[in-house]
């Protein structure tokens, strides 16, 4: 008996085996959910298909979150295949490499808008598309991925910190809109992990080392820990929790 038995999940944001989204997808499968994955473009499709096969997930199609047509197609395909949706994982973020180093002050209008669109607005777009499918199931749960740079000025995190602050605010407002329909939404704020995205942030791993040394648990976060808490937030075990940012960061965020 798993905590996600009989549930259907869409996981957006798998790029490779180190992706935090993949860790959540793996745990959801282990807990009994049917899992659908998307991929961003042909290059990543080649990585996502074998990973889906490895865990017994379905690849539902291509999804670039800046493409409204692909968002509509993804949810239409989900509706056709499963008739509804219980769980949605949004693990998508982007900022230009130049905006993840040196001075935040230098970000230009175009790059600012693009980072906000991909990293924050996309949650709203996906939640809106998921709403009728979750309503068909009498409710649902959505999880997005955030980072402590949303609430503290972390060196070099810069533009992404601003986007994560917007993302966490989106979670609160979406929780208000969706709550009456039994749809919950939370942000999981993860500790630093070595992934494709984080490698773009200058000195990110110096910071990761600092977390290991200073955190109460005195070690790095394991990506499986994101998977496990993701599954809890998506399942009925967290039925009274919505609009929150939950830290899975080996306790780093409480240290003064």
Residue 131 pairs in a beta bridge with none
Residue among 144, 127, 116 nearest 21 (CA): 144
Which residue in 39, 157, 247, 252 is the catalytic one? 157
Which residue shows structure tokens 């060196």? 155
The reply to whether 245 sits near ligand NAD by the rule CB under 6 A is: no
Among 13, 140, 227, 230, binds ligand NAD (CB under 6 A): 13
- Sheet hosting strand 58-62, strand order edge to edge: 58-62, 34-39, 8-12, 87-90, 140-146, 183-190, 245-248
147: annotated active-site residue: yes
Among 196, 217, 237, 255, binds ligand NAD (CB under 6 A): 196
The reply to whether 44 sits near ligand NAD by the rule CB under 6 A is: yes
**Pairing of β 245-248 and β 183-190:** parallel
The reply to whether 89 sits near ligand NAD by the rule CB under 6 A is: no
The reply to whether 253 sits near ligand NAD by the rule CB under 6 A is: no
Among 9, 14, 185, 211, binds ligand NAD (CB under 6 A): 14
| 222 phi and psi angles, rounded to 5 deg | -100, 140
Site for ligand NAD, residues 94 to 123, rule: CB under 6 A = 94, 118
* Minimum distance, C-beta of residue 132 to ligand NAD, in the bound complex (Å): 21
Taken in order 53, 78, 17, 96, the sign of the CA dihedral is positive
Among 45, 58, 66, 251, binds ligand NAD (CB under 6 A): 66
Give yes or no for a contact between 237 and 3, defined as CB atoms under 8 angstroms apart.
Answer: yes
Q: How many CB atoms lie within 10 A of CB 53?
A: 11
29 or 164, CB closer to ligand NAD? 164
Residue among 184, 188, 187 nearest 242 (CA): 184
Site for ligand NAD, residues 122 to 181, rule: CB under 6 A = 145-147
**Pairing of β 8-12 and β 58-62:** unpaired
* Minimum distance, C-beta of residue 66 to ligand NAD, in the bound complex (Å): 5
The reply to whether 237 sits near ligand NAD by the rule CB under 6 A is: no
Q: Determine the Cα–Cα distance for residues 233 and 245; give it in Å rounded to an integer.
A: 11
Q: Which two tokens stand for residue 234?
A: 């998506």
112 or 180, CB closer to ligand NAD? 112
The reply to whether 40 sits near ligand NAD by the rule CB under 6 A is: yes
The reply to whether 36 sits near ligand NAD by the rule CB under 6 A is: no
- Interaction site with ligand NAD (CB under 6 A): 13-15, 19-21, 40, 44, 63-66, 91-94, 118, 145-147, 190, 192-193, 195-198
- Tell me the catalytic residues: 147, 157
């Amino acid at each position: 008996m798993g905590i996600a038995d009989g549930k259907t999940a869409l996981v957006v944001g798998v790029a490779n085996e180190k992706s935090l989204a993949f860790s959540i997808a793996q745990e959801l499968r282990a807990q009994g959910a049917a899992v659908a994955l998307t991929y961003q473009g042909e290059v990543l499709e080649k990585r996502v298909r074998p990973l889906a096969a490895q865990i017994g997930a379905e690849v539902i199609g291509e999804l670039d979150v800046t493409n409204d047509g692909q968002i509509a197609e993804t949810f239409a395909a989900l509706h056709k295949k499963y008739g509804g949706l219980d769980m949605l994982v949004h693990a998508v973020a982007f900022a230009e490499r130049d905006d993840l180093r040196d001075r935040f002050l230098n970000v230009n209008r175009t790059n600012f808008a693009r980072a906000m669109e991909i990293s924050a607005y996309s949650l709203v777009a996906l939640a809106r598309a998921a709403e009728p499918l979750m309503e068909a199931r009498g409710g649902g749960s959505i999880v997005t991925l955030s980072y402590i740079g949303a609430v503290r000025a972390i060196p070099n995190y810069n533009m992404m910190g601003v986007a994560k602050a917007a993302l966490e605010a989106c979670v609160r407002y979406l929780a208000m809109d969706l709550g009456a329909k039994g749809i919950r939404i939370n942000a999981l704020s993860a500790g630093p992990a070595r992934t494709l995205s984080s490698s773009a942030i200058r000195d990110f791993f110096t910071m990761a080392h600092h977390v290991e040394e200073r955190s109460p648990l005195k070690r790095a976060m394991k990506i499986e820990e994101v998977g496990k808490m993701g599954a809890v937030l998506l399942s009925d075990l967290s039925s009274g929790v919505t609009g929150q940012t939950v830290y899975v960061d080996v306790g780093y965020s409480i240290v003064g």
